[in-house]
Amino acid sequence: MPFAQSPSAVPVIVDDAKCIAEKGCRVCIDVCPLDVLRLSDLTGKAYMAYDECWYCMPCEADCPTGAVKVNIPYLLK
Ligand code: SF4
Ligand code: SF4
């Protein structure tokens, strides 16, 4: 599994300005069945650590602040 070097290279993007992980939120990390969302040591916010995704959407749907954006590939739409 390739390690994601740049946040823009992965399909799930977290808006750091909206993410409230510093207040203890772990919703997206907890709901992801593939366990690919992590807490960044650098920013303290959630991010996609591995470019592996089922596009099942609970991370985006359940985030209390709307910080998660899942970019579904064109071919899957
Ligand atoms: S669910 Fe939203 S607010 Fe909570 S950690 Fe994930 S991105 Fe941040
Ligand atoms: S869409 Fe599903 S698999 Fe992809 S990051 Fe969100 S919860 Fe995980």
| CATH code of the domain in which 59 resides | 3.30.70.20
Residue 28 lies in a domain: yes
Give the pLDDT score at 73. 84
Assess whether the C-beta atom of 48 lies below 6 angstroms from ligand 1.
Answer: no
Q: What is the DSSP letter of 69?
A: E
Residue 75 lies in a domain: no
Alpha carbon nearest to ligand 2 atom 2, residue: 56
The domain total for the chain is: 1
Residue 57 lies in a domain: yes
What predicted TM-score, i.e. pTM, was given to this entire model? 0.88
Residues in the chain predicted with pLDDT less than 50, given as ranges, are none
Give the pLDDT score at 6. 55
Residue 52 lies in a domain: yes
- Pocket test of ligand 2: the residue of 37, 48, 50, 76 to mutate, having most ligand atoms within 8 Å of its CB, is 37
Residue 1 lies in a domain: no
Give the pLDDT score at 55. 96
The parent domain of residue 36 ranges over 7-70
Residue 76 lies in a domain: no
The values of phi and psi at residue 54, to 5°, are: -95, -5
- Pocket test of ligand 1: the residue of 28, 35, 62 to mutate, having most ligand atoms within 8 Å of its CB, is 28
Burial degree of 8 (CB within 10 A; 0-12, 13-18, 19+): exposed
